Structure 1
Amino acid sequence: MSPENVLFLNFGLHSLAFGFLGWLLLSCLIRDALRRSVSAMMAILFSVGGPWLVSSLPPLGGGRDMPALTALHQTLDSGWSIVIRQEMSPATSTQTITPDVSNFVRYGDRWMFWLKWICLSGTVILLFRHLWQTVRIVVWRRGLRKPTPEEIESIPQALRGKPLAVFHHPGTPCVVGWFRPLIAVPASSFGTLTARQWHWLVLHEEEHLRGRDTLVSWFLECARSVLWWNPFIHALIECHARAREEICDAAAVREAGGNKDYAEFLLSWVRACHPMAGVMPMAQSRPAQRLRGRLTALVEARPIRHRLGVIFLLACTAGAVIGPLLIASIGLAVSTDSAAAQPVKSASLPGENSSLFTRTYVVSPNILSSPSNPANKVTPREFLESKGIPFPKHAMAIFQTNTSHLQVTNTLANLEKTRQVLNTASMIQPQVYFVTRFIQADRFFGIHGAVLDNKSAAALIANVSQKAGIDVLSAPRVTTKMGQRAVVEVGHFNPANPEQLVGIRQELVPSKAAGGKVFIDTKSSFGLEPGEKLISSKFSLPKDWSQVKVYTRNGRAELASGETLVQNLQVGGKQMTLLIAATALLPDGTETSHFEEVANVRWPVQVGSDIPYEPGAAPIEQNTSPRIADKKVFLSVAVADVPEVSQLAASLGWDGKEKVEPDRLLGVLDSHLNGQFLVTGVLTEAQFSLVMRALGKQQGASIVALPGGAVENGKEAVFHLPENLGGQPFAVTPRVWADGYTIDLNVAPPSLDHAPKKAVTTAVTIWPSQTLILGGYLREVKDQGRLIFVTASLIEENGKATQ
C-alpha cells in the first residue's frame, strides 16, 4: 500500500481515536456543564488537528517498524501498532500476518481510491449544505427589524438597551449573527410575555452572546462537514451544545429564579418551530435528548461552576501532552527504509529476499528519452532514481525495447511509487504536421534561417502567388511523431546510388525543445537533368544518370506550432525559397498552439502482478499484454471520385474553425500535376464521418469500398483499384510500435496515368481508427479529383479490437 494511502488511513484512525477518548472521558468522568463544554471543544479540536500533530512526530517504525517517541510511548507501541510490512520472510509471515491482511496490503490501493472518493464526496456535499445555510442566515438576519417604540415600552426598563431584533414569522427566540450577533424575538412576544419571562429570555440569550456561541457553532458545523464519517464528532458536538444550553439556563434562573417555572417557559416555546435552520433557538424539541437533559438539570437544580479550576486546567494540559503520544501508538506503518537499512545479504538463507518483488509495467517506448533529445536515452534505473525511487541492494530495473516492458525489482512501497511515476511520465506528445512550399523565382524571398509566424507566411505566399514568373509548388503534407523521420519522395532514384535522383526528396525529423517548441532537422534534395532550370511536375527517367545534378540543403531550426522556417537554395538557374511549416496535432487530429506533452491524454500503462524475487533467477516474462508480433492491423479502404473538389472543400468545416482549402484536401505538388496520388493528411473518426457525409450529399460523387482485411504486423498489404477506376495496385505496410498503440503506415500510392515510373512514397504515423487520405487530380482540370481513404484499426490475435 502506498504511503499516501497509509497516511489517509492513519488520519481517519487517529481522528476516531481522539474522538472516542474524548467522548469516553465526558461520559464517565465529567459532570459539570462548564467543564463538559470545554472538554468537548478540546476533543473536537484534537479530532480535527490531532492526526496532523501525530504525523509530525518522529516517523512510525523508528527504524524498527514500530512507533518510537518517548519512553512512555515505547511501552505501549508493541501491542497497539499495526505494521504493514514489505520485508517478511515466509517463516515469520505465517505467524505475524494472515492471508486476509496480506490481501489488504497488496490490494489496498484499489479500494482506497473508492474510500477516498466517498469521503471527499460527502465532505463536499455537506460543505455546500453548510454554505447554503450560512447564506440563508445572512439574508434572514438582514430582514430583521428593530423594535418599534411601542414594543420597547412593553418590555422591562432594564432590558431596553439590549441588542434586540424582531421577526414576524412564528418561531422561538434565538441568537443570530457571528461577528455582531443579535437576539431575535418573534413580534408576538411583545405584550404577551411577563417581565419575569423577558428576563429569562434575555439572560439566556446574553449568555450565548458572551460565549460567542454562534461563531463557535459555525466552526463546529465545518468540522462536522469535514469529519462527517466520525460518529464521535457528532456526539461531541451534541455534548458541547447541551452543555452550553445548560450553562445559559443556569445563568437565566440564577438571577430571575424559578427553576420549575423556567422549565415550563421553555416547554411553551417547543411547539413553535423556528423558520430558519442553522440559528440557535432558545428551545426546540429536536434532539429530544438535549431538551430532556436541560429539563432534568433544571428540576434537579444542578450547580454550574463559574471557574474551571486549577486542577482541571492541569489535567487538560497533561491530557494534551499524553493524549497524542497515546494515540500515536495506534496506527498503520509501512516500512520503506528497512530494505535499504537491512538489505539482503546472502542468497543462501531461505526466504531472506522475499521482501523484494518483481513487477512488469507496459509503458510508452520513448518514456526513457531525454526531453530535449529523444535519441538520448537514460537507463531505467537512472530515470526512476531521478524521480525519487530508491534502489536497495539487489533491486534493479530492466527495459525491453522490443516489447516496451519495464521490469522493476524493488520493495512493494517503491513499486507503488514507480507506478505513480510512470503514470505521470507517460504522457502523449503531439504529432507534427508538416506543410512545405517551394517558391521558384529570380530572387529569394525572406532571409535564410528566418522563422515566420502564421500570418507573415500566409501574406508572403499570397503575395508571390499573384506575380508573373514565379512558381509556387506544394509538397505532399505528412504527419510524423517526435524523433521519427518523415520522408517525402517524388520522382525517380538511381538504383546504384540512392542519393541521386530526378525530382524531390525531403527528410524532416522533429525533436522536442523547451518552451513548447520543436527542433526541426531538414534535408531537402532537388535533382535536375542537364538543361533543366525549373523543378517540373513531370519527371521522366533520365538517359544518363551521370549528368543529373543534385542540389541539397540541410538545416535546423526551433519552431513553435504554426511557425514557418525559411530556407534559400540555388537550384539550376532559379532561386529556390523553401517554406517549411510545422503544426502540433493532438491525438484527436485537432491543432494545438504548443508542442508540450498532452497532459489529459496518457499512454495506457499496464501493470503486472507482483512476483517474489529470487536471487539468480532468470528475468520474469509476464503476459501483461499480447506480444506486439501477435497484433494485427485491420485495413479498410474506400475510394471516392469527386467531380468538383472546390465544392466539396467549401462544404467541409476543418476542426470547426475554417473551411478546407482544396490543396489541403488534395495536397499536390503542382496545380497541373496529374496522374499521381499523394498523401495529404490524417483524419480522426469524427472528421472522416464528416467527409463521408459531405461526399454522400455531393451530386456526381461516387464512393467504392474495397475489400479490407487483417494484416500481420510488418507485412505488406496490396490493394487494387476497381477496373472501372483503372485497376492499379498500391501497397500499404503497417508497423505497430512497441507500445502496442502507435501505427506507422508506409504507403506506395498507385499511379493514375498507368505510369508506374512516377511514385510518391511516404511514412505516416497514426493512432488506431484514424484515417489516412491519399488524393490526386484525374485530369488537367484541377477540380476533378479522386480520394483514397485508408483506415487502420488494431486487433489482437484472438480477433478482438484493441482498446
Structure 2
Amino acid sequence: MDTMMSELLVRLGWTSLQSAVLVALVWAVCRWLPRLPAATRCRLWWLVALQAVLGLVWSSPLELAVLPAADIDTAVMATQPMQQQALALAPAAVETALPPSLALAPAATAPTWPLRVFALWASGLLLMLARSVHAYRQSRALVRNAAPCSDVGLQQALQLAAEAHGLARAPQLKISAQIRSPQLIGPWNPVLLLPARELPMMGADDLDMALTHELIHLQRRDLWWGLLPALAQHLLFFHPLVHLAAREYSLAREEACDSAVVAGHGHCRHDYGRLLVQLGVAPRPAVGVASASPNFRSLKRRLLTLQQTGTLPRAVSVGVTAMFVLVGVVPLRLVAAVPPVPPAPPAPPALA
C-alpha cells in the first residue's frame, strides 16, 4: 500500500513540475505570437490539461537520462557503509532500550509520510468534488426553474440555425429570470437559457448573434472538451498554474466562438462588441456550462480580440500545436545517465 501511495506522490511531483514548464511555454508562445488564433490558443491550453491528467495515469513515462550519474553513484556508495552499520546496530540498540517484557512485543507502526501526504491530497480532491457537485446541482436547478419558450418563431429560428451549423437537433430553449446573459448547460441533453429581463431589449440581430454563439459551442463540442481541464483542476487542485491554464482555456474558448460569429455569419464587430457590453459579466459557470464573461478583465480581453483583423497563417497554427503535442504532452521523468562501461583491463602477457 505504501508503495502505491509513494508512486502516486512521485507522479504528482513530476506532473506538477512538467505542468509548470508547459504552462510557461504556452504563455510565452501566446505572448510572442499575439495574432495566434483564439482557437489555437484554446487547443494549447487544453493540451496543458491533457498533460496533467496523463501524467497521473500513464504507467511508464518517458525517461530522459540527463541527471549526472557520477554524483548519484558516489552518494549511493558513500551511504551504503552507513546503512549497513545502522542495520547491524539496530537490533542491539532496540533490545538494550526496551524493557525485557517489551523486547519481543511488536511495535505500533505510526503513519508514514506518504500516507499523510496522500490523505491531504485525497481530502482536497474530495472537497473539490463536493464543490463541483454543488455547482452542478445549482445549474440543474436553473434549468428546472426556467420556463419553456412559447415563442414559436424563436423556436423555428433556433432550429434553422442549428441545422445550418450541422447539428442534428437544436438544444432545448428555456427562459430564466435568474440569469442576465445566455447560458448553455450540458453537456448531455443541452439546454439553452435566455435571460427573461434582457430578452425584450434584444433586437433580432442581437438575438441572432447570441444564439449563434451558443450554437457554435455545441458545434465545437466545447462542453465535452471542457471536462478535461476541469478534471485536471480537481486532480492538481494545489497547483496554481493548472488553475491558470483552465481559466485561460475557458477565456480562449469564448474568444474562439466570438471570432467565429463575426467571421462566418456576416455580423459587424462593433455590433457584436456592443452586445458583449450589454450582456456584461456573470459569475464563473460550473462544469458543463458556457456563459458570459466572468469578470471585467475577461470582457476587456474579448473586446480587444474582436479588434484583431489579421491572424497568422494556418500552417503556423498547426505547426505550433503539433510541436506542443510531440514535446509537451507525453509524461517525462529525469533519470540519471548510465555511465559508460570502463574498458576491460589488458590481458597479462603469456609466459614463455
Shared topology, TM-score over 0.5? yes
The residue number in structure 2 matching 1:184 is 193
By relative contact order (CA 8 Å, sep 6+), the higher-ranking structure is 2
Identify the match of residue 78 of structure 1 among 60, 68, 75: 68
Among 293, 298, 310, the alignment partner of 2:306 is 298
What is the deviation of 1:204? 1.0
8 Å Cα contact 1:35-1:308 kept in structure 2: no
Select which of 231, 235, 255 maps to 1:226: 235
Change (3 A) 1:156 1:182: closer
Structure 2 match to 1:205: 214
SS of alignment partner, residue 222 of structure 1: helix
Q: Give per-residue Cα distances to partners, 1:219-246, cap 9 Å, x unaligned.
A: 4323312210122211111121111111
Aligned to 1:319: 327
The answer to whether the Cα contact below 8 Å between 1:204 and 1:252 also exists between their aligned partners in 2 is yes
Instruction: Give the letter for the 1:216 counterpart.
Output: W
Q: Give the drift of 1:127.
A: 0.7
Return the offset for 1:303: 3.7
CA distance in 2, matches of 1:264, 1:245: 16
Instruction: Report if the CA contact (8 A) 1:173-1:186 is conserved.
Output: yes
1:47 correspondence with 2:52: yes
Q: Corresponding residue for 1:128?
A: 130
Percent identical pairs in the alignment equals 20
Query: In the aligned structure 1, how far is the partner of 2:270 from the partner of 2:259?
Result: 12
Q: What is the match of residue 33 of structure 1? A: 38
Matched, 1:237 2:241: no
What residue number does 2:334 align with?
329
1:183 counterpart SS class: strand
Instruction: Verify the 8 A CA contact 1:130 1:221 in the aligned structure 2.
Output: no
- Given candidates 169, 172, 176, the residue that maps to 2:178 is 169
- Kindly provide the CA deviation profile for residues 734-774 of structure 1, in whole angstroms up to 9, marking residues without a partner as x: xxxxxxxxxxxxxxxxxxxxxxxxxxxxxxxxxxxxxxxxx
Report the secondary structure of 2:146's partner residue: coil
Deviation at 1:174, TM superposition (A): 0.9
- State whether residues 22 and 43 of structure 1, in contact with CA within 8 Å, keep that contact through their aligned partners in structure 2: yes
Aligned Cα root-mean-square deviation (Å): 3.7
Report the Cα offset of residue 113 of structure 1. Answer: 3.3
| Unpaired segments ≥5 residues, structure 1 | 59-68, 94-108, 332-803
Q: Which has the higher strand share?
A: 1
Q: Indicate the residue corresponding to 2:16 in structure 1.
A: 16
Q: 1:8 to 1:171 in 2, by over 3 A?
A: same
Residue 157 of structure 1: CA displacement? 7.1
Contact kept, 8 Å, 2:213 with 2:257, in 1: the verdict is: yes
Q: Distance in 2 between matches of 1:276 and 1:172?
A: 12
Which structure dedicates a bigger proportion of its chain to helix?
A: 2
1:316 positional shift: 4.1
Q: Residue 312 and residue 170 in structure 1: after superposition, are their counterparts in 2 closer, same or farther (change >3 A)?
A: closer
Partner Cα distance (1:277, 1:239) in 2:
15
How far apart are the structure 2 equivalents of 1:5 and 1:252?
Answer: 48
Check the 8 A contact 1:203/1:252 in 2, yes or no.
Answer: yes
- Taking the TM superposition and a 5 Å limit, the aligned residue runs for 1:266-277 are 266-270=276-280, 273=282, 277=286
Residue 56 of structure 1: SS of its match in structure 2? Answer: coil
Alignment of 1:260 with 2:273, yes or no, is no
Q: Which has the larger radius of gyration?
A: 1
Matched AA of 2:50: L
Question: Does the residue aligned with 2:181 lie in a helix, a strand or coil?
Answer: coil
Tell me, in whole angstroms, the C-alpha distance in 1 between the residues paired with 2:286 and 2:76.
54
Distance 2:6 2:123 in 1: 20
Residue in structure 2 matched with residue 146 of structure 1 by the alignment: 148
Q: Name the CA shift for 1:283/1:36 in 2 (closer, same or farther; >3 Å).
A: same
> Do 1:44 and 1:236's aligned partners in 2 also have CA atoms closer than 8 Å?
yes
In the TM superposition, what whole-angstrom CA distance separates every residue of 1:431-463 from its partner, at most 9, and x where no partner exists? xxxxxxxxxxxxxxxxxxxxxxxxxxxxxxxxx
Matches within 5 A, 1:403-442: none
TM-score normalised to structure 1 length = 0.33
Assess, with a 3 A threshold, how the Cα gap between structure 1 residues 234 and 220 changes in structure 2: closer, same or farther.
Answer: same
Alpha-carbon distance, 1:180 to partner: 2.4
* Residue 131 of structure 1: how far off its partner (Å): 1.7
CA distance in 2, matches of 1:245, 1:313: 19
Q: Secondary structure at the match of 2:148?
A: coil
Deviation, structure 1 residue 182: 2.5
Contact 1:133 1:277 in 2 (8 A): yes
Distance 1:152 1:192, change over 3 A: farther
Q: Counterpart in 2 of 1:246? A: 255
> Displacement of 1:294 after TM fit?
1.2
| Cα separation, 2, equivalents of 1:277 and 1:16 | 24
Question: Could you state the TM-score of these two structures normalised by the residue count of structure 2?
Answer: 0.70
Displacement of 1:135 after TM fit? Answer: 2.8
Letter in 2 for 1:77: L
1:113 to 112, 115, 137: 115
- Counterpart CA distance in 1 for 2:290 and 2:297 is 16
**Partners of 1:285 and 1:216 in 2: CA distance:** 19
Deviation at 1:212, TM superposition (A): 1.8
Return the letter of the residue paired with 2:49: I
Residue 33 of structure 1 deviates from its aligned partner by 1.6
Helix, strand or coil: the match of 2:126? helix
Q: Which runs of 5+ in 2 are unaligned?
A: 31-35, 83-110, 161-169, 337-352
Would you say the 8 A contact 1:141–1:177 is kept in 2?
no
Is 1:173–1:282's contact at 8 Å kept on the other side of the alignment? yes
Q: Separation in 2 of the partners of 1:260 and 1:277?
A: 29
SS of the equivalent of 1:191 reads helix
Q: Hey, what's the Cα distance between the residues in 2 that align with 1:25 and 1:91?
A: 41
Shift of 1:152: 4.0
Residues in 2 aligned to 1:51 and 1:219: alpha-carbon distance in whole angstroms: 13
Spell out, residue by residue over 1:483-515, the C-alpha distance to the aligned partner (whole angstroms, 9 max, x if none): xxxxxxxxxxxxxxxxxxxxxxxxxxxxxxxxx
Whole-angstrom CA distance in 1 between matches of 2:125 and 2:333: 25
The offset of 1:186, in angstroms, is: 1.5
Residue identity matched to 1:115: V
User: Number of residues paired by the alignment?
Assistant: 292
**Residue pair 1:175, 1:205 contacting (<8 A) in 2 also:** yes
1:593-616: per-residue Cα shift (whole Å, max 9, x none)?
xxxxxxxxxxxxxxxxxxxxxxxx
Displacement of 1:120 in angstroms is: 1.1
Pick closer, same or farther for the CA change 1:259–1:138 going to 2, 3 Å.
same
